[in-house]
């Protein structure tokens, strides 16, 4: 396999890749065409995404709404089938597994989603919700399950008597703890957190962030942390990938990304985050809206909003460049740096 | 006369049945200034604003206040009809979710024209011309086409610009902005905040900025009030509160969201959750979650204590766990409760 945008960053983590994503692409077809002549359109939600995550590492995926980060999370867990590309977890190509094998593999890969109100069955008590994965996979004797439930409640910091409560009796933070306990009920070693703390009030958000951090340490989990909140991402991740319109535009170790962002989009994102300092206003560095993924702009997809746009940006999709130290970015401004990606049009 | 507040609220209480949603809220908003109202969900910040606009049905809500004035007008004594003429013309409001505030079956042009016709008695033709100017004013590209578009065709940022155009169509003196950028992406949030800031300077209007985001307040407010469980627990000029929060809740809020430009080892958290209106503890409402709490805190519901420089906080920690101006005896008694 050739070097790609993100095979290499792992060199800096000294770890073999636990999760390896290559050329991941998902196109959704919308509209039916036919009678009213609307024609079918293709939403290019994810387009040639490559990255790798080391064992025990947290890779954050950031970007604005519609950039495809949630779709990537679902593809990585094979909750939806990719149009193209591969996902390997612990050296297992999960796209090649048959239904039964995939079902068995699901014990190891789980997701925590944003909405703790919509993701828990209102007619089940907390104990049944948390143990449902064990039922599904037929794991454990009744005694073992009781022990497991107690252990999971302790792990996520819920009192044991919560097992008999219904979701509507819990606060948002408590519900999210239930969602996390459920995700860890089996032998999970890879967890996708999709905006897992975004719906929570800030004081509760901090509790859940700390919980996710401590669980990761205790159980040596690998996280794909999907979020739009750059401050939270700075706090939880080891490396960060920035997405724009279905593509990763920059990937770097956390410190590098915040200290020396190379892509104009990353720079604008960082400048736009309000700082909690009196009188300091965020900078609206880029104008306009994200273009539609149905018709992404030709050339560099960011060129319609980029303050540094040049002629070449309108014509050629920029190659990913190696900036050293596991830092990669795809921008024509970095033309003096070595190319690492084959994503260029012929 | 420069010291006369535009909006003045004294001791506002909003109750629904037994539930006291907001209790004893007072604030002054100066002309041309921005007052940030900060708090988590359920703290009462939106209720305060809705009550100030008298948007609650008096058959369902008990609303009392010593004072509720806009300039020299007493809003409490106005009839419903008089109040309606003030809303939209002198006080206007924008919300978090522009899609649900806009009418999906009317073009955006129609919705702006509607406001102009109601409040300014313009002909439709003149109103349409002005609506176009308004869209250009809020920096909507290709405004002429946009005028005849329906809201669902627009992005969240564009819809919020339309809302701003409608809200400011009659050049109000006061804009209540309730989480105006919470549903927006961060780059779009920066654009909308900058737009509001520029329009505020142009119109000289005051803004009551309701948000849960202390970062947004830091950049755009002159004065901040922090609400917790229906009360204002701290109020201060923006520089003062960021330099030194006096209430432990303010301090906790600031520490629980990590900075984007520095590293922290572990996020500080506030234990527990905000109590429901019917389960508020006696004494200080924050005491059960407060790391500095002493027995006196559980017995005494502290009023706002003045710390000078316009800063006041409802906390007795900095006054030796007693109310200022009261002798040893009270605090000593409290400690033995």
CB A345 within 8 A of CB A315: no
DSSP A97-121: --HHHHHHHGGGEEEE-S-TTTSS-
When pLDDT is averaged across residues A264-271 and rounded to a whole number, the result is 95
When pLDDT is averaged across residues A60-77 and rounded to a whole number, the result is 94
Closest residue on chain B to A277 (Cα): B218
Confidence (pLDDT) at A57: 95
Confidence (pLDDT) at A115: 77
CA distance B64 to B46: 16
When pLDDT is averaged across residues A63-91 and rounded to a whole number, the result is 94
Residue B163 has pLDDT above 50, yes or no: yes
Which band of pLDDT confidence, cut at 50, 70 and 90, is reported for residue B327?
very low
Confidence (pLDDT) at A38: 62
**HEC secondary structure over chain B:** CCCCEEEEEEEEEEEECCEEEEEEEEEEEECCCEEEEECCCCCCHHHHHHHHCCCCCCCCCEEECCEEEECCEEHHHCCHHHHHHHECCCEEEECCCHHHHCCCCCCHHHHHHHHHHHHHCCCHHHHHHHHHHHHHHCCCCCHHHHCCCCHHHCCHHHHHHHHHHHHHCCCCCEEEEECCCCCCCHHHHHHHHHHHHHHHHHHCCEEEEEECCHHHHHHHCCEEEEEECCEEEEEEEHHHHHHCCCCHHHHHHHHHCCCCCCCCCCCCCCCCCCCCHHHCCCCCCCHHHCCCCCHHHHHCCCCCEECCCCCEECCCHHHCCCCCCCCHHHHHHHHCC
More confident residue, A61 or B123: A61
A chain contacts of residue B155, beta-carbon cutoff 8 Å: 289-290
DSSP A148-198: HHHHHHHHTT--GGGGG--GGGS-HHHHHHHHHHHHTSSS--EEEEESTTT
CB B176 within 8 A of CB B91: yes
Residue B276 has pLDDT above 90, yes or no: no
The DSSP call for residue A80 is S
Confidence (pLDDT) at A35: 60
When pLDDT is averaged across residues B156-165 and rounded to a whole number, the result is 92
Convert the pLDDT of each residue in B81-104 to its tens digit.
999 989 888 999 998 877 778 899
B chain contacts of residue A206, beta-carbon cutoff 8 Å: 256-257, 267-270
Convert the pLDDT of each residue in A180-205 to its tens digit.
999 999 989 999 999 999 888 888 88
In chain B, the percentage of residues whose pLDDT exceeds 70 is 96
Confidence (pLDDT) at A32: 65
CB A107 within 8 A of CB A185: no
Reported as half-sphere exposure (CB side, CA atoms, 13 A), residue B113 has a value of: 15
When pLDDT is averaged across residues B292-299 and rounded to a whole number, the result is 94
Which band of pLDDT confidence, cut at 50, 70 and 90, is reported for residue B1?
very low
More confident residue, B247 or B112: B247
The whole-angstrom distance between residue A169's C-alpha and the CA centroid of its chain comes to 30
CB B213 within 8 A of CB B182: yes
B chain contacts of residue A275, beta-carbon cutoff 8 Å: 215, 218-219, 259-261
In chain A, the percentage of residues whose pLDDT exceeds 90 is 73
Convert the pLDDT of each residue in B213-224 to its tens digit.
999 999 999 999
- Please state the pTM of the whole predicted model: 0.88
The DSSP call for residue A246 is T
Look at A289 and B260 and tell me if their CB atoms are within 8 Å.
no
Contacts of B265-272 with C-beta under 8 Å, sequence gap 24+, read B266/A210, B266/A213, B267/A206, B267/A209, B267/A210, B267/A235, B268/A206, B269/A203, B269/A206, B269/A207, B269/A210, B270/A203, B270/A206, B271/A207
Residues 209-268 of B with CB under 8 A from A: 212-216, 218-220, 238-239, 241-243, 252-254, 256-261, 263-264, 266-268
Give φ, ψ of B262 to 5 degrees.
-155, 160
Contact B304/A at CB under 8 A: no
Q: Residue ranges of the alpha helices (H) in chain A?
A: 69-76, 99-105, 126-137, 142-155, 172-183, 202-219, 230-236, 254-259, 264-272, 311-315
When pLDDT is averaged across residues A310-338 and rounded to a whole number, the result is 94
CA distance B167 to A332: 42
Residue A144 has pLDDT above 50, yes or no: yes
Per this entry, what is the length of chain A?
346
Confidence (pLDDT) at A33: 59
Say whether A312 sits in a helix, a strand or coil: helix
Residue A79 has pLDDT above 60, yes or no: yes
Confidence (pLDDT) at A340: 83
Confidence (pLDDT) at A5: 45
Convert the pLDDT of each residue in B169-195 to its tens digit.
889 999 999 999 988 899 999 999 999
CB A275 within 8 A of CB B219: yes
Confidence (pLDDT) at B335: 44
Convert the pLDDT of each residue in A274-316 to its tens digit.
988 888 888 888 888 888 888 899 999 999 999 999 999 999 9
Give φ, ψ of B100 to 5 degrees.
-85, -15
Say whether A204 sits in a helix, a strand or coil: helix
Look at A281 and B189 and tell me if their CB atoms are within 8 Å.
no
Look at A203 and B185 and tell me if their CB atoms are within 8 Å.
no
- Mean pLDDT, chain B, as a whole number? 90
Give buried/exposed letters for B289-306 (b at 16+ CB in 10 A, else e): bbeebbebbbbbbbebbe
More confident residue, A135 or A30: A135
When pLDDT is averaged across residues B305-314 and rounded to a whole number, the result is 95
Convert the pLDDT of each residue in B13-29 to its tens digit.
999 998 999 999 999 99
CA distance B27 to B224: 10
Confidence (pLDDT) at B101: 83
Confidence (pLDDT) at A341: 53
More confident residue, B222 or A119: B222
CA distance B201 to B65: 31
A chain contacts of residue B182, beta-carbon cutoff 8 Å: none
Confidence (pLDDT) at A14: 47
Confidence (pLDDT) at A333: 97
Neighbours of A113 (CB within 10 A): 21
Look at A275 and B259 and tell me if their CB atoms are within 8 Å.
yes
When pLDDT is averaged across residues A208-234 and rounded to a whole number, the result is 93
Look at B190 and A209 and tell me if their CB atoms are within 8 Å.
no
Q: Pick from A206, A273, A281: which is nearest to B267 by CB?
A: A206
Confidence (pLDDT) at A1: 38
Closest residue on chain A to B190 (Cα): A284
């Amino acid at each position: 396999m050739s070097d790609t945008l993100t095979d290499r960053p792992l060199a800096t983590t000294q770890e073999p890749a636990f999760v390896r994503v290559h050329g991941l692409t998902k196109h959704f077809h919308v509209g039916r065409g036919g009678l009213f002549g609307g024609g079918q359109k293709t939403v290019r939600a994810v387009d040639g995404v490559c990255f790798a995550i080391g064992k025990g590492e947290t890779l954050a995926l950031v970007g604005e709404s519609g950039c495809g980060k949630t779709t990537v999370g679902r593809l990585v867990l094979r909750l939806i089938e990719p149009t193209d590309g591969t996902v390997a977890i612990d050296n297992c190509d999960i796209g090649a597994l048959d239904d039964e094998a995939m079902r068995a593999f699901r014990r190891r890969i789980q997701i925590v989603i944003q909405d703790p109100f919509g993701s828990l069955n209102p007619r089940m008590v907390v104990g049944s919700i948390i143990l449902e994965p064990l039922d599904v996979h037929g794991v454990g004797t009744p005694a073992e399950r009781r022990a497991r439930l107690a252990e999971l409640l302790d792990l996520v910091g819920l009192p044991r008597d919560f097992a008999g409560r219904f979701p509507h009796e819990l606060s948002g933070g408590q519900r999210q703890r239930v969602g996390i306990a459920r995700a860890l009920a089996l032998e999970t070693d890879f967890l996708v957190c999709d905006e897992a703390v975004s719906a929570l009030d800030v004081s509760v958000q901090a509790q859940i962030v700390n919980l996710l951090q401590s669980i990761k340490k205790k159980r040596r989990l690998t996280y794909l942390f999907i979020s739009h909140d750059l401050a939270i991402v700075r706090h939880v991740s080891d490396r960060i990938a920035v997405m724009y319109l279905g593509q990763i535009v920059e990937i770097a170790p956390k410190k590098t990304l915040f200290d020396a962002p190379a892509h104009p989009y990353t720079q604008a994102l960082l400048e736009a985050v309000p700082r909690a300092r009196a009188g300091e206003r965020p900078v609206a560095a880029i104008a306009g809206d994200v273009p539609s993924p149905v018709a992404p702009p030709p050339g560099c997809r960011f060129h319609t909003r980029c303050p540094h746009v040049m002629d070449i940006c309108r014509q050629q999709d920029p190659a990913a460049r190696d900036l050293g130290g596991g830092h990669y970015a795809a921008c024509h401004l970095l033309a003096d740096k070595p190319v690492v990606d084959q994503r260029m049009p012929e | 006369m420069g010291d006369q507040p535009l909006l003045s609220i004294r001791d506002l209480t909003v109750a629904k049945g037994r539930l006291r949603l907001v209790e004893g809220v007072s604030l002054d908003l100066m002309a041309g200034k921005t007052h940030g109202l900060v708090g988590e969900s359920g703290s009462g910040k939106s209720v305060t604003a809705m009550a100030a606009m008298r948007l609650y049905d008096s058959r369902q809500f008990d609303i009392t206040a010593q004072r509720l004035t806009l300039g020299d007008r007493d809003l409490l004594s106005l009839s419903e009809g008089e109040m309606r003429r003030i809303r939209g013309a002198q006080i206007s409001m924008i919300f978090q979710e522009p899609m649900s505030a806009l009418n999906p079956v009317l073009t955006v042009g129609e919705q702006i024209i509607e406001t102009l016709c109601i409040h300014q008695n313009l002909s439709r033709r003149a109103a349409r011309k002005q609506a176009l100017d308004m869209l250009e004013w809020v920096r909507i590209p290709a405004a002429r086409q946009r005028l005849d578009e329906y809201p669902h065709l627009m992005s969240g940022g564009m819809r919020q610009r339309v809302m701003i155009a409608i809200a400011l169509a009659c050049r109000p003196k006061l804009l209540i902005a309730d989480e105006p950028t919470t549903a927006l992406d961060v780059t779009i949030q920066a654009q909308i905040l900058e737009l509001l800031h520029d329009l505020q300077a142009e119109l000289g209007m005051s803004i009551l900025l309701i948000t849960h985001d202390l970062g947004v307040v830091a950049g755009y407010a002159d004065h901040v009030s922090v609400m917790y469980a229906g009360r204002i627990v701290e109020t201060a000029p923006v520089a003062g509160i960021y330099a030194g929060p006096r209430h432990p809740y303010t301090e906790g809020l600031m520490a629980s969201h990590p900075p984007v430009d520095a590293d922290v080892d572990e996020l500080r958290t506030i234990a527990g959750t905000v109590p429901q209106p019917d389960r508020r503890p006696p004494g200080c409402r924050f005491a059960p979650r407060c790391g500095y709490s002493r027995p006196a805190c559980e017995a005494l519901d502290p009023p706002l204590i003045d710390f000078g420089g316009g800063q006041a906080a409802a906390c007795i920690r900095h006054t030796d766990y007693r109310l200022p101006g009261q002798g040893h005896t009270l605090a000593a008694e409290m400690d033995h409760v």
